[in-house]
Structure 1
């Protein structure tokens, strides 16, 4: 079986927690993605969370907050769910299924961001049956999640 580092998107876009939501939305547009890992600093890319297009909608817009006045840290999802570069692809897909996520950041041996694995990466690498199984599992309804603790 393949490992994560064989199919991951290398050197993905990332953001810092103090970035504004407009800036991170522009990154999503520029890189055509719906999730951006949030790292502690540009030099040490340890992941503190992720921010998704859904996070912005659910944790800002839907609550009537002004996303133009908010930063990434106020909306991000945490703790981050990550996999290591050497993770078996089946195990990576199981993580995605267990957490109902479409993409997962990849960290190296020093816990620094080095890649992303998404459903698109699976399909581009002819892992269609794995992608289909992940989609099936993450599409199952789950209990409603409470809003991010920063907004309580």
Structure 2
């Protein structure tokens, strides 16, 4: 199935100078955990992403006041993007390869047109395959503890 049929369209985007407070408000307003960071005044040239986890780990846990920070202070660079015309198998492969749960979806001109989440893929899979999709994408890294190795 085509990515454009599965993705969340027209995501909120921000610039690297957007305050973390504004980004958190965007996340709250659109009930999402990631905001693409793009060149100012546009949806093209994706610079990175800010996730709710980035705010927690790179700001709050470091004792920094998120009210004093911008997207550029905590964003993850070099985001993994996928073309809207790609299929769900390619998306699953990219997520698994990079151990990420969300992809930024772009058009042929690299404009942000959507976000594809792991849950979007899982909803499209037959029920018996959902566990395989989640397992493939969510393999723990060597340093993380799981319930089985605690």
Matches within 5 A, 1:19-38: 19-38=18-37
Q: RMSD of the alignment, in Å?
A: 1.8
Instruction: Determine whether 1:66 maps to 2:72.
Output: no
> Per the alignment, do residues 127 and 11 of structure 1 end up closer, same or farther by CA in structure 2, a change over 3 Å counting?
farther
For 1:129 and 1:50, how far apart are their aligned partners in 2? 32
Aligned residues: 143
Query: 1:115 and 2:114 equivalent?
Result: yes
Report the CA distance shift for 1:11/1:60 in structure 2 as closer, same or farther (over 3 A). same
Q: Which runs of 5+ in 1 are unaligned?
A: 145-152
Q: Which residue of 1 aligns with 2:95?
A: 96
Say whether the 8 Å CA contact 1:119–1:131 is kept in structure 2: no
Q: Does 1:75 align with 2:74?
A: yes
Question: Which stretch of structure 1 is more off in the superposition, 81-90 or 36-45?
Answer: 36-45
Structure 2 runs not aligned, ≥5 long = 144-150
Distance apart, 1:120 and its partner CA: 2.8
What secondary structure is seen at the aligned counterpart in 1 of 2:141? coil
What's the secondary structure of 1:42's corresponding residue?
A: coil
**TM-score (norm: length of structure 1):** 0.85
TM-score by length of 2: 0.86
Of structures 1 and 2, the larger Rg is shown by 2
Tell me if structure 2 keeps the 8 A contact 1:14–1:38.
yes
Q: Distance in 2 between matches of 1:68 and 1:78?
A: 21
Provide runs of 4+ in structure 1 moved above 4 Å.
Answer: 126-131
- Decide whether aligned partners of structure 1 residues 104 and 53 sit closer, same or farther in structure 2, where only a CA change above 3 A counts: same
